[in-house]
């Protein structure tokens, strides 16, 4: 167990300049989830933008685990719902080198209060969640495993709905996809 870890709640209004928070989101959505769930470029950009917007709006809360020098080693991200007893965990991530040292356990404890949790886990993290009181509800075709700590079936709506991409977002995503394809052809990815 690492004791020299400091937890810091991300200040949503300063998100754009918060390098630690942006780095964690990019690592989680860009690298970890893309490879675990075989996400397309569109999906990666979508999820990353959605998470940023939700943290910025204050609907989602992000807590970073930093070392004593302020270097981020991990993060947890949850979204409040209209069911006051349940928090949905959207992201939980620790940089590979620092895994197995109790950082996630500390992050989960920090956001627990008196709430239950609901999440869509990656297959490789199911064992960790089970160790922390979650049970499997069901497997989903896109590769996630739905889990909860609640006794029954979680049944909630979001207080404010997660943004849906506009036509303009989709055009941008299409352009980014072409850009990445071009780079791949040149051997730059
Ligand atoms: C899953 C993950 C978040 C765990 O973080 P972590 O900080 O390494 O976990 P901890 O150190 O708090 O784990 C503590 C305990 O759980 C065990 N554990 C860690 N990962 C485990 C796993 N995948 N399966 C089973 N047990 C696991 C540890 O061995 C340790 O056990 P011990 O207390 O008996 O020694 C981390 O491996 C990770 O970032 N994975 C990639 C991203 C991901 O899949 N996130 C979840 C999807 S949303």
One pLDDT digit (tens) per residue for the chain, 189 residues: 566 899 999 998 888 889 999 999 999 988 899 899 988 887 888 888 889 888 988 889 999 999 999 999 999 999 988 898 999 999 999 999 999 999 999 999 999 999 999 999 999 999 999 999 999 999 999 899 999 999 999 988 877 766 666 777 778 878 888 888 898 999 886
Ligand 1 contact, 73 CB (< 6 A): no
Number of domains into which the chain is organized: 1
Residue 173 lies in a domain: no
Give 13's contacts (C-beta < 8 A, 6+ positions apart): 56
What pLDDT, on the 0 to 100 scale, is given for residue 2? Answer: 63
pTM of the model: 0.87
Residue 113 has, within 13 A of its CA and on its CB side, a CA count of 8
Residue 165 covered by a domain: no
Distance 81 CA to ligand 1 centre (A): 25
- Asked whether residue 150 is assigned to any structural domain, the reply reads yes
Q: Which atom in ligand 1 lies closest to the alpha carbon of residue 106?
A: 12
**CB of 143 closer than 6 angstroms to any ligand 1 atom:** no
Which atom of ligand 1 is the closest one to the Cα of 119? 48
Protein residue with its CA nearest to atom 37 in ligand 1: 99
CATH number, domain containing residue 132: 3.40.630.30
Question: DSSP alpha helices (H): ranges in the chain?
Answer: 19-25, 33-37, 41-57, 103-112, 126-131, 167-185
Which pLDDT belongs to residue 165? 66
Q: Quick check: is 70 in a domain?
A: yes
What's the chain's Rg over C-alpha atoms?
17
Give residue 63's domain range. 6-160
How far is the centre of ligand 1, averaged over its atoms, from the C-alpha of 165 (Å)?
32
What pLDDT sits at residue 46? 83
* Cα(97)–Cα(100) distance, integer angstroms: 9
CB of 61 shorter than 6 A to ligand 1: no
> What's the order of all strands across the beta sheet hosting 72-80?
6-9, 60-66, 72-80, 86-94, 116-121, 145-148, 135-139
Atom of ligand 1 nearest to the CA of 101: 11
pLDDT of residue 164: 67
């Amino acid at each position: 167990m690492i004791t020299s870890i400091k937890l810091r709640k991300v200040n949503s209004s300063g998100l754009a300049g918060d390098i630690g928070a942006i780095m964690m989101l990019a690592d989680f959505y860009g690298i970890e989830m893309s490879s675990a769930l075989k996400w397309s470029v569109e999906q990666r950009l979508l999820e990353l933008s959605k998470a940023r917007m939700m943290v910025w709006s204050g609907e989602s809360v992000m807590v970073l685990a930093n070392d004593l020098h302020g270097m981020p080693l991990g993060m947890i991200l949850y979204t409040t719902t209209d069911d006051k007893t349940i928090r949905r965990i959207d992201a939980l991530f620790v940089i590979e080198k620092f895994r197995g040292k109790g950082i996630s356990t500390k992050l989960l404890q920090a956001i627990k209060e008196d709430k239950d949790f609901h999440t869509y886990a990656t297959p490789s993290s199911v064992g960790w969640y089970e160790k922390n009181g979650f049970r499997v509800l069901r497997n989903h075709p896109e590769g996630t495993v739905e889990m909860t700590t609640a006794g029954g079936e979680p049944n909630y709506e979001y207080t404010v709905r997660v943004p849906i991409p506009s036509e303009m977002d989709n055009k941008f995503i299409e352009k980014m996809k072409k850009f990445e394809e071009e780079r791949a052809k040149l051997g730059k990815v």
